[in-house]
């Protein structure tokens, strides 16, 4: 995910990368919890390390691209918030006290990453820009749902987090319906969206799973969230390639 080429960004590519920062904000917290909970530990460590590096790299690109003072200001703020979050994620072995701080820091970073994406979509003023934003946001929701489930498994809960999980599930389903009905969809986009809907059913099952051990359930949540992420990242890339 995310290529390292140094070619100048197009507005569509900027919306995709800005949107991917939202996803990474949630994915890093998820991976942190998974390490702390002993879920797919080696893989989770790799996910965390790669996500931190990708966030850094894309932030540099987005700051350089920022076409308006408002967008520049958003990315300057995001950089400050990211420094705090990055420190929490990388300072020590995952522990529950730090995880509580990460729960909040991941929200702070998400809020600014969302703001940046919305401003870039507005800047583009196209229906394609909106599709890149919405499809890209599905990546974030897949990771947010998994993140909130992992926090819950680590006994870090609040009424707000329960509500956030419920909202994220509903938002994902509604956005999937919106994307499926988009007139711009190519055959490739439609078949990827179909695949995402199938993965979504598996994901919803994993979240509700009561059979088997808790370790199995958490592993299923971890792996299905990654699969949805991959498919929706592909879909977002396909929308980015549309010229209309």
Report the predicted TM-score, pTM, of the whole model to 2 decimal places: 0.95
- Give me 199's structure tokens: 């993965």
Tell me what pLDDT residue 201 has.
96
Which among 111, 126, 123, 136 has a CA at the least distance from the CA of 19?
136
Asked if 93 and 105 count as a contact pair (C-beta separation under 8 A), the reply is: no
Tell me what pLDDT residue 98 has.
97
Buried b (16+ CB within 10 A) or exposed e, 151-169: bebbebeeeebeebbeebb
Buried b (16+ CB within 10 A) or exposed e, 74-90: bbeebeebbeebbebbe
Tell me what pLDDT residue 2 has.
53
Tell me what pLDDT residue 95 has.
96
Name the average pLDDT for the chain: 95
Q: CA dist 206 to 16, 31, 140, 149, 162, Å?
A: 28, 17, 18, 11, 17
Tell me what pLDDT residue 67 has.
96
- Give me 121's structure tokens: 């979509």
Q: CA dist 13 to 5, 52, 197, Å?
A: 12, 20, 25
Q: What's the rounded Cα separation, in Å, for the pair 178 and 172? A: 10
Q: What's the rounded Cα separation, in Å, for the pair 180 and 176? A: 6
Confidence check: pLDDT of 6 > 80: no
| The dihedral sign for the CA sequence 72, 73, 78, 81 | positive
Which among 130, 140, 133 has a CA at the least distance from the CA of 109?
140
Read off the pLDDT of residues 141-162 as tens digits, 9 standing for 90 and up.
Answer: 999 999 999 999 999 999 999 9
What is the mean predicted confidence (pLDDT) over 93-111? 97
Q: What's the rounded Cα separation, in Å, for the pair 29 and 156? A: 12
Confidence check: pLDDT of 5 > 60: no
- Give me 26's structure tokens: 């949630």
Is residue 8 very low, low, confident or very high in pLDDT (cuts 50, 70, 90)? confident
Tell me what pLDDT residue 7 has.
67
| The dihedral sign for the CA sequence 217, 170, 106, 130 | positive
Domain boundaries, the chain: 11-240
Is residue 211 very low, low, confident or very high in pLDDT (cuts 50, 70, 90)? confident
Asked if 48 and 85 count as a contact pair (C-beta separation under 8 A), the reply is: no
Read off the pLDDT of residues 11-47 as tens digits, 9 standing for 90 and up.
Answer: 999 999 999 999 999 999 999 999 999 999 999 999 9
């Amino acid at each position: 995910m995310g290529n390292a080429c140094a070619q100048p960004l197009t507005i569509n590519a900027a919306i995709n990368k800005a949107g991917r920062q939202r996803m990474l904000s949630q994915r890093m917290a998820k991976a942190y919890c998974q390490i702390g909970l002993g879920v797919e530990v080696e893989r989770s460590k790799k996910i965390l390390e790669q996500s931190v590096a990708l966030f850094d790299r894309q932030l540099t690109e987005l700051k350089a691209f920022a076409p308006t003072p408002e967008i520049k200001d958003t990315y300057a703020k995001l950089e400050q918030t990211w420094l705090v979050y990055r420190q929490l994620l990388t300072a020590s072995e995952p522990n529950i006290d730090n995880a509580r701080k990460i729960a909040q820091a991941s929200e702070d970073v998400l809020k600014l990453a969302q703001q940046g994406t919305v401003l870039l979509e507005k800047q583009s003023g196209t229906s394609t820009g909106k599709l890149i934003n919405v499809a890209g946001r599905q990546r974030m929701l897949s990771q947010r749902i998994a993140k909130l489930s992992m926090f819950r498994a680590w006994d870090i809960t609040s009424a707000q987090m329960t509500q956030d999980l419920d909202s994220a599930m509903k938002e994902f389903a509604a956005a999937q319906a919106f994307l499926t009905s988009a007139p711009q969809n190519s055959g490739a986009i439609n078949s990827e969206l179909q695949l995402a809907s199938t993965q979504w059913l598996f994901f919803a099952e994993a979240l509700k799973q009561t059979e088997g051990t808790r370790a199995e359930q958490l592993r299923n949540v971890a792996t299905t969230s990654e699969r949805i992420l991959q498919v929706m990242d592909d879909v977002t890339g396909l929308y980015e390639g549309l010229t209309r």
